[in-house]
Amino acid sequence: MDLISFLYGGVAGAAAAAAAWAVLRAARRPTPREEPPDANAPLIRPWPDPTTSDRREEHGPRTWAPPGRDDVRLSERVLLQLAREGRLDPDAPARRGRTQAGLTEALGSNQSSVSKVLRRLVAAGVVGEERRHVTGVPQRVKVYDLTRRGELLARDIAARRSVSLLPPRPESEPELSAIRLEP
């Protein structure tokens, strides 16, 4: 193999690689962003009726609605729920509300979403996890508790969202003002 053939092959290979790169880059080019919707226009369009037509052009693109002030992210809801549970006693068995299943029920979300959020919060050092006995569960399960950093974050979220960290009082529990102490 001589030097000229070697250089010719290198130039041809480089040209082919450059052409492939240009084609791939053009294919990945982002589409231009849409203008924000009119203030009076509805933010979310209803799903199309499958009996009439399924064409995308007839219904137009779905619009994105920015999260409102009252929308609370699932990670924030998990932190607030754990804060409402209070601190975990080191010797006593934990309540079911500290488990993944208990948080799922309390938040009204699906278990996979809660699991992913808990995994991220544990990795961030905001939530701690340990295997413990839970009241009413035969085997030890993972129980979640806020770290000091998590407590501060939960207080901050509660203050920003104007949410109480106290658990709701059951209807059967009387108020303190209604209790009379007799001498």
Cβ(81)–Cβ(168) under 8 Å?
no
Q: Would you list the domain boundaries of the chain?
A: 74-161
In terms of C-beta density within 10 A (0-12 exposed, 13-18 middle, 19 or more buried), how is residue 183 classed?
exposed
Among candidate residues 36, 154, 12, 139, the one with its CA nearest the CA of residue 86:
154
Residue 8: the pLDDT is: 73
Taking only the tens place, the pLDDT of each residue in 92-123 is: 889 999 999 999 999 888 999 999 999 999 99
Residues of the chain with pLDDT > 70: what percent? 66
Side-chain-side CA neighbours of 22 within 13 Å: the count stands at: 6
> Is the CATH code 1.10.10.10 the one for domain 74-161?
yes
Cβ(140)–Cβ(148) under 8 Å?
no
pLDDT, average across residues 13-37: 72
The DSSP annotation for the chain comes to --HHHHHHHHHHHHHHHHHHHHHHHHHTPPPPPPPPPPTTS-SSPPPPPTTT---HHHH-PPPP----TT---HHHHHHHHHHHH-PPPSSSPBPGGGSHHHHHHHHT--HHHHHHHHHHHHHTTSEEEEEE-BTT-SS-EEEEEE-HHHHHHHHHHHHHHT---SPPPPTTSPPGGG-----
pLDDT, average across residues 38-46: 56
pLDDT, average across residues 8-35: 74
pTM: 0.55
Q: Is the pLDDT of residue 26 over 70?
A: yes
Residue 24: the pLDDT is: 77
Residues of the chain with pLDDT > 90: what percent? 30
